[in-house]
Amino acid sequence: MIWNPEKECADRQQMHAWQSKQVIEMIQRMYENVPFYRNRLKEKGMEPGDIKSVNQLKDLPFTTKSDLRDNYPFGLFTVHQTDVVRIHASSGTTGKPTVVGYTQKDIDLWAEVVARSLTMAGIHNGDTIQVAYGYGPFTGGLGVHYGAEKVGATVIPISTGNTKKQLQFMTDFNATVLACTPSYAAHLGESILKEGIDPADIKLRTGVFGAEPWTNEMRKEIEKILNIQAFDIYGLSEVIGPGVSMECECHCGNHVFEDHFIPEIIDPDTLEVLPDGEQGELVFTTISKEAMPLLRYRTRDLTRLHREKCDCGRTLVRMDKCLGRTDDMLIIRGVNVFPSQVESVLMEMTETSPHYQLIIRRENNLDTLEIHVEIDEKNWSDSIRELEGIRRRIDQNVKSILGISALIKLVEPNSMERSEGKAKRIIDHRKC
Ligand SMILES: [Zn+2]
């Protein structure tokens, strides 16, 4: 089923017309109400009247995370405070949080795109959704919540943490859908086994996972351990929260709801727009949000766009699963390394669990990479020779995919710290 066929299956010309109309209106509102945007456009010698079509987006200025921080907390709002009905904030690792505001129309729009997303994953009013994303200033919990209610599903707003209670609610309330970070989904799967819960008591059918990059190999692992079909939901609070794009049943990338959020891929160094199919930094312009629209916001996520027809019938542009963020990328001995590359190696091996950590140090001016890998309970052995065999295979596979060698350390089953939200995959001692 498709929640909004008119928008999700529109022909390109129609989509183009909608986008152009919205972009023109949005630039006008930004110019009139936000000094930051007015100044940026003036610097480029532009006025709202110059914008006639969405094709001119590529000539407009970018917005970055530091622009959001510089205008903290409400400097980029285009509406009066009386029209703002909610504020979310994402905690940055450094400095001030990133603040976003919503009018009632924005909240309705958010519920609409999440309803489209959940429907794309086959979720309907007969489902019970356990929302194990954090509720609070983080957009995950409340974002999925409103969309789930809109499709008429039953929502269990349990938020993160308290794994025992998660499992109790999951079994007693017959949850059919789990929504959380992929790393927490993997942890819940393991906990089901550990607690000795009868798999027949688990009614889960579908998982809606996001808020951290994850590989297709990780998907297979989670699908196996929870006996479900897993879907990637993508979003970031600056754009709206979860529901910016979503994977359909074809699992061939995420459909972007481009009638509201226009994606572009740019070269992060030259800032030129790249053609479809080429990898670069994802940029979004939110064309229908009222309280805090964003013009060409640089997400730092790395991906590609595709416009070929999808078997699901939707015509919306697709983005590949994000490889990582430009700021996730590690440069080790001059080589670009993404944690997702290591994850894809580990998840293809049956002996490893979905828990790993990359530790980077600088010793005598040389970067060293150490990878801690947790061994699956079934494959933990007292035989040093067996473990050494596993270690050597990881070593070879990692080296062939990264192009640099790493020190592989195997750790015992269940010994790594479990995350209830986003997993901490990287410890970079070079920054200390
Ligand atoms: Zn599709």
Give 189-209 pLDDT, tens digit per residue: 989 988 999 989 999 999 999
- For residue 213, which amino acid is it? P
Q: For residue 73, is the peptide bond before it cis, meaning its omega torsion is within 30 degrees of 0?
A: yes
Give the distance, in angstroms, between the CA of residue 398 and the centroid of all CA atoms in the same chain: 25
Instruction: State how far the Cα of 158 lies from the Cα of 253, in Å rounded to an integer.
Output: 29
pLDDT at 378: 86
pLDDT in tens, 209-263: 998 888 898 899 999 999 999 999 999 999 999 999 999 999 999 999 999 999 9
> 6 C-alpha vs ligand 1 centroid, how far in Å?
15
> 228 C-alpha vs ligand 1 centroid, how far in Å?
19
> 312 C-alpha vs ligand 1 centroid, how far in Å?
4
Comparing CA positions, the residue from 383, 376, 385 lying closest to residue 411 is 376
Element (H, E) at 222: helix 216-226
Question: What residues have their beta carbon closer than 5 A to ion ligand 1?
Answer: 248, 250, 310, 312, 314
pLDDT at 330: 84
User: Span 328-348, mean pLDDT?
Assistant: 84
User: Span 320-326, mean pLDDT?
Assistant: 79
Structure tokens at 313: 């019938």
> 346 C-alpha vs ligand 1 centroid, how far in Å?
28
Q: Residue 354: is its pLDDT beyond 70?
A: yes
Strand partners, 372: 357, 409
> 155 C-alpha vs ligand 1 centroid, how far in Å?
26
Give the length of the chain. Answer: 432
Q: Which residues contact 220 (CB under 8 A, 6 or more apart)?
A: 347
> 252 C-alpha vs ligand 1 centroid, how far in Å?
7
The percent of residues in the chain predicted with pLDDT above 90, rounded, is 73
> 249 C-alpha vs ligand 1 centroid, how far in Å?
7
Structure tokens at 310: 């999808």
pLDDT at 432: 45
Q: What is the mean pLDDT of the chain?
A: 93
> 283 C-alpha vs ligand 1 centroid, how far in Å?
21
> 163 C-alpha vs ligand 1 centroid, how far in Å?
33
CB 330 within 8 A of CB 371: no
> 2 C-alpha vs ligand 1 centroid, how far in Å?
10
Structure tokens at 132: 């194990």
> 321 C-alpha vs ligand 1 centroid, how far in Å?
14
CA angle, residues 25, 140, 326, in degrees to nearest 5: 75
Q: How confident is the model at residue 39 (pLDDT cuts 50, 70, 90)?
A: very high
Instruction: State how far the Cα of 72 lies from the Cα of 84, in Å rounded to an integer.
Output: 16
According to DSSP, residue 381 is labeled -
> 270 C-alpha vs ligand 1 centroid, how far in Å?
31
> 248 C-alpha vs ligand 1 centroid, how far in Å?
5
Structure tokens at 388: 């050494």
> 323 C-alpha vs ligand 1 centroid, how far in Å?
20
Dihedral sign computed on CA atoms, order 172, 177, 183, 186 = positive
> 184 C-alpha vs ligand 1 centroid, how far in Å?
26
> 232 C-alpha vs ligand 1 centroid, how far in Å?
12
Q: SS3 for 21-58, per residue?
A: HHHHHHHHHHHHHCHHHHHHHHHCCCCHHHCCCHHHHH
**How many other C-beta atoms are found inside a 10 Å radius of the C-beta of residue 182?**
25
> 318 C-alpha vs ligand 1 centroid, how far in Å?
8
User: Span 405-420, mean pLDDT?
Assistant: 90
Instruction: State how far the Cα of 246 lies from the Cα of 208, in Å rounded to an integer.
Output: 9
| Rounded (10°) angle between helices 35-43 and 12-33 | 110
> 365 C-alpha vs ligand 1 centroid, how far in Å?
48
Q: How confident is the model at residue 5 (pLDDT cuts 50, 70, 90)?
A: very high
pLDDT at 30: 97
> 381 C-alpha vs ligand 1 centroid, how far in Å?
43
SS3 288: coil
> 80 C-alpha vs ligand 1 centroid, how far in Å?
38
User: Span 325-334, mean pLDDT?
Assistant: 78
pLDDT in tens, 281-301: 999 999 999 999 999 999 989
β-strands 335-337, 330-332 pairing: antiparallel
CA angle, residues 235, 78, 256, in degrees to nearest 5: 25
pLDDT at 431: 59
User: Span 76-93, mean pLDDT?
Assistant: 90
> 143 C-alpha vs ligand 1 centroid, how far in Å?
22
> 250 C-alpha vs ligand 1 centroid, how far in Å?
6
pLDDT at 96: 79
**How many other C-beta atoms are found inside a 10 Å radius of the C-beta of residue 77?**
22
> 117 C-alpha vs ligand 1 centroid, how far in Å?
11
Give the global pTM. 0.85
Query: By mean pLDDT, which of 16-25, 361-370, 389-398 is the weakest?
Result: 361-370
> 51 C-alpha vs ligand 1 centroid, how far in Å?
32
Query: By mean pLDDT, which of 78-87, 143-152, 345-354 is the weakest?
Result: 345-354
pLDDT in tens, 125-148: 999 999 999 999 999 999 999 999
Q: Where are the beta strands (DSSP E) in 44-202?
A: 86-90, 98-102, 128-131, 154-156, 177-180
> 308 C-alpha vs ligand 1 centroid, how far in Å?
10
Comparing CA positions, the residue from 208, 261, 252 lying closest to residue 230 is 208
